[in-house]
Amino acid sequence: MSVRTRLAPSPTGDPHLGSAYAALFNRAFAHQNGGEFILRIEDTDQTRNRAESESAIFDVLRWLGLDWDEGPDIGGECGPYRQSERLAIYKEHMEQLLASGGAFRCFCTKERLDEMRRQQIQAGKTSKYDGKCLTVDPAEAEERAARGEPHVIRLRVPEEGECRFVDGVRGDVTIPWSQVDMQVLIKSDGFPTYHFASTVDDHLMGITHIFRGEEWINSFPKHQLIYQNFGWDMPKHYHLPLLRNPDQSKMSKRKNATSINYYRRCGFLRESLLNYLATMGWSMPEEREKFSMDEFYADFTPNRLSPRGPVFDIEKLSWLNGLYIRELSSEELKARVFDWAFGGERLDRLVSLVRERSERFDDLFPKVDYILGDRVDLTEQDFEHKKLELSDSKKVLEFVNRALGEVEQWNRDSLYESLNQLAGLMNVKFKDFLFPVFVAISGRSVTLPLFDSLELLERDIVTIRIRSAIEALGGISNKERKRLDKEWRTLVD
RNA sequence: GUCCCCUUCGUCUAGUGGCCCAGGACACUGGGUUUUCAUCCCAGCAACAGGGGUUCGACUCCCCUAGGGGACGCCA
């Protein structure tokens, strides 16, 4: 049997570094064993899917060179590779599971569940479904379901004993069944949850090994139960450590740049990003720190995976990146810098923006400095303004970041629309409103047109620059954040 | 709170019972090369969380404590 691995991201936002991290090990393991690496899109949450996200995932994984052997865009023998297109498959399997008693219909209301959880936590117990609907007679449940009564389908979990399993990274792990929730497998909208869909798909797609984040380790018993109910062999699991922020917490948007595209737009090379990621929680036999993907694929072994969560250190990544830059031939470096700065439509866009504002060639370049390079560090003085207090500017920036987070199509016009609307809601004259944004983005108040700049800079760089500007203005305390949250809600409702 | 996982320099890590009064790398500090800067070279700083066992011998094995992280959703 051939080794098959997969990456199963959900298209709910900017492709995360953690996805690249998992992809790296999955792909390496499959390919060094002559197997296949599969990309599957986990789009079972109808409320969170974002249209642009799927293509962003394709784009960024291809940029990294982590391409796949089967996937939604290229097909394969186990398609379709988008879960929203596999609903009939899940339905059929669920009928089987229901018939065997491995799952049951649950008609409990959200209110009852909320109250139940509240009480459990208060009583110091693990919060989980209490099994009320387990007592509903299956025939009656079928009847109620047939009449269209809203309900979900849950996994039946043993009440006693423990689930033992082997994690390829940590060894034996034991979790008492009493801690495992009767997970919802089919939601009331008829869509499966991750737990059900991905287990069924992993089996049907012949997945043999799974490298995934440690955050899944507690879900393992549920998945195991599903495999057992169907009588399927289970893939071997390796739970990778979670990438961390400098304060050791799970790497998050709030404290770090987590989007792959951010690193790409900052001008990191794919070679160094991948190389660096491969040294997180894994090491080369001779402790070599700089190595190519070919070398990695040759030497990778799960034995050298460590369970300890590594802090993602952008300083060390930068050092590595410098090594790679110096190693490139002049020709190659030239081509890659050019592509990074001016690839696609970027050169045309920049030229058209700059020509109207220039009289000599030598004032062309200073105008685009903040687009092609990082902007200068900011201080409070940079935000002195005759109409806006520093605290006003800070609030504007915070709200701008929130508004921008909701913009789906990252282009000049929708960005304009979003911020223009926000200025109206905040009752600040647009020109004044824009001032702190100009400064945050470019480091000065007079620049190329703002919305073109935002578009060219792309989402991740913009978000980070605004955040760092907020820091320059003293940052936001927890108390302040609470107040702003409230104000934001009244604003957008 | 409950359960699970983790614990070597600030950070990434080597180390699978004696080779370790713990090695490498980033960062930092000092020095050298260089018209400046960077690169490069050399040197320095700096860690086995604590306590019990097991053993002739523990960074390595076991237990406890402490600390950190994760999970506890009709999100993945």
User: Rounded to whole angstroms, how far apart are CA atoms A441 and A418?
Assistant: 17
pLDDT band at A14 (very low <50, low <70, confident <90, very high): confident
What digits encode the pLDDT tens for the residues A259-276?
Answer: 999 999 999 999 999 999
User: Taking 80 as the threshold, does the pLDDT of residue A493 lie above it?
Assistant: no
The pLDDT, as a whole number, for residue A476 is: 87
The pLDDT, as a whole number, for residue A133 is: 87
What percent of chain A has pLDDT above 90?
80
C-alpha atoms less than 13 angstroms from C-alpha of A460 in its C-beta half-sphere: 19
The pLDDT, as a whole number, for residue A238 is: 97
The pLDDT, as a whole number, for residue A450 is: 96
User: Taking 90 as the threshold, does the pLDDT of residue A122 lie above it?
Assistant: no
**Residue A114 Cα to chain centre, angstroms:** 27
What digits encode the pLDDT tens for the residues A406-422?
Answer: 888 899 999 999 999 99
Residue A438, C-beta contacts closer than 8 angstroms, at least 6 positions apart: A444, A445, A446, A447, A450
The pLDDT, as a whole number, for residue A377 is: 87
The pLDDT, as a whole number, for residue A132 is: 84
pLDDT band at A153 (very low <50, low <70, confident <90, very high): very high
User: Taking 80 as the threshold, does the pLDDT of residue A200 lie above it?
Assistant: yes
Q: How does DSSP classify residue A148?
A: T
Chain-wide mean pLDDT for chain A?
A: 93
Q: What is the DSSP string of A45-67?
A: -TTT--HHHHHHHHHHHHHHT--
pLDDT band at A130 (very low <50, low <70, confident <90, very high): confident
Q: Can you count the helices (H) and strands (E) in chain A?
A: 20, 9
What are the strands, taking DSSP E only, across A313-355? none
Higher pLDDT, A114 or A62: A62
Bases of chain B with protein Cβ within 7 A: 1-8, 10-16, 23-27, 39-40, 68-76
User: Taking 80 as the threshold, does the pLDDT of residue A231 lie above it?
Assistant: yes
Measuring from the CA of residue A279 to each C1', which nucleotide is nearest? Answer: B12
What digits encode the pLDDT tens for the residues A282-331?
Answer: 999 988 999 999 999 999 999 999 999 999 999 999 999 999 999 999 99
User: Taking 80 as the threshold, does the pLDDT of residue A141 lie above it?
Assistant: yes
Residue from A128, A187, A250, A253 carrying the catalytic annotation: A253
pLDDT band at A232 (very low <50, low <70, confident <90, very high): very high
The pLDDT, as a whole number, for residue A261 is: 94
The pLDDT, as a whole number, for residue A40 is: 98
Q: How does DSSP classify residue A489?
A: H
CA-to-C1' span, A265 to B28 (A): 28
CA-to-C1' span, A22 to B74 (A): 27
Mean pLDDT of A396-404: 95
What is the pTM (predicted TM-score) of this model? 0.94
The pLDDT, as a whole number, for residue A298 is: 95
Mean pLDDT of A10-18: 92
The DSSP bridge pattern shows strands A152-155 and A103-106 to be antiparallel
CA-to-C1' span, A302 to B54 (A): 30
Distances (CA, A) of A347 to A333, A338, A355, A447, A456: 18, 9, 12, 17, 10
| A253 flagged as catalytic | yes
Measuring from the CA of residue A305 to each C1', which nucleotide is nearest? Answer: B13
The pLDDT, as a whole number, for residue A381 is: 92
The pLDDT, as a whole number, for residue A203 is: 98
pLDDT band at A124 (very low <50, low <70, confident <90, very high): confident
Mean pLDDT of A150-158: 95
